[in-house]
Structure 1
Amino acid sequence: MLGLLMVATGGWGVLALTYSGPHSDMVRSSLAAAFAVASLAALIALGFPRWRWLALAAYFVLFAVLVVWWRGIEPSNERDWQTDVAVLPYATIEGDVVTMHNIRNFDYRSETDYTPAYYDKRFDLRKLEGIDLVAVYWMGPAIAHIFVSFAFAGGDHLAVSIETRKEKGEDYSTIKGFFRQYELYYVVADERDVIRLRTNYRRNPPEDVYVYRLQGPLENGRRVFLDYIKKINALNNHPEFYNTLTTNCTTNIWLHSRVNPEHLPFSWKILVSGYVPERAYETGRLDTRMPFPELQRRAHINTRAQAADSAADFSRRIRQEPGMTAPATPQTSR
Structure 2
Amino acid sequence: MSGGTRSTFRRLISAGTWIVLFALVAATSVWGGFALSYRFPGGRGAGTTAAAVWALASLAVLALICLRRRRIPSLFVYGLLFVALLVWWNTVKPSNTRDWADEVGQMTTGTVVGNRVDLHNVRNFHWRTEADYDVAWEDRSYQLDQVVSVDLLLSYWSSPAIAHTLISFGFSDGRFVTYSVEIRKERGEAFSEIGGFFKQFETSVIAADERDIVLLRTNIRKEDVYLYRINMPAAAIRSLFLAYVEKTNELAAEPSFYNTVTANCTTIVYQMVARIVDGLPIDYRLLFSGYLPDYIATVGGFTPGFDLTQLRAGGAISRRGQEAGDTPEFSKAIRVGVPGIGG
TM-score by length of 1: 0.91
How far has the Cα of 1:37 moved from its partner? 2.1
Structure 1 residue 214 corresponds to structure 2 residue 233? no
2:227–2:316 CA contact under 8 A, matched in 1: yes
Query: Corresponding residue for 2:257?
Result: 241
1:106–1:116 CA contact under 8 A, matched in 2: yes
Give the aligned length: 323
How far has the Cα of 1:311 moved from its partner? 2.1
Task: Give CA deviations for 1:252-279 in whole Å, capped at 9, x if unaligned.
Answer: 1111112124253111111011001121
How far has the Cα of 1:190 moved from its partner? 0.4
Give runs of aligned pairs for residues 1-334 of structure 1, distance below 5 A: 1-23=20-42, 25=44, 27-47=46-66, 51-202=70-221, 206-262=222-278, 264-325=280-341
Which amino acid counterpart does residue 14 of structure 1 have in structure 2?
G
Compute the RMSD of aligned alpha carbons.
1.8
Aligned sequence identity (%) = 40
Query: Corresponding residue for 2:7?
Result: none
2:38–2:44 CA contact under 8 A, matched in 1: no
Task: Give CA deviations for 1:137-190 in whole Å, capped at 9, x if unaligned.
Answer: 111311111110111212121100101111111111111111111111112100
> Which deviates more from structure 2 when the two are superposed, residues 62-71 or residues 257-266?
257-266
Helix, strand or coil: the match of 2:257?
A: coil
- Structure 1 distance, partners of 2:43, 2:170, is 47
- Structure 1 distance, partners of 2:180, 2:328, is 21
Task: Give CA deviations for 1:37-67 in whole Å, capped at 9, x if unaligned.
Answer: 2222323333466733332222121111101
How far has the Cα of 1:306 moved from its partner? 1.6
- Structure 2: stretches of 5+ with no match in the other structure: 1-19
Query: Corresponding residue for 2:14?
Result: none
Name the larger-Rg structure: 2
> Which deviates more from structure 2 when the two are superposed, residues 58-67 or residues 310-319?
310-319
- Structure 1: stretches of 5+ with no match in the other structure: 327-334
1:223–1:259 CA contact under 8 A, matched in 2: no
How far has the Cα of 1:26 moved from its partner? 5.0
Q: Structure 1 residues 34, 299: CA separation in 2 closer, same or farther (over 3 Å shift)? A: same
Task: Give CA deviations for 1:100-128 in whole Å, capped at 9, x if unaligned.
Answer: 11111111212221111122221222222
Helix, strand or coil: the match of 1:72?
A: coil
- Structure 1 distance, partners of 2:45, 2:248, is 38
- Structure 1 distance, partners of 2:43, 2:138, is 40
How far has the Cα of 1:229 moved from its partner? 0.9
Task: Give CA deviations for 1:184-222 in whole Å, capped at 9, x if unaligned.
Answer: 1112100010001111111xxx30111101112222222
Q: Structure 1 residues 67, 322: CA separation in 2 closer, same or farther (over 3 Å shift)? A: closer
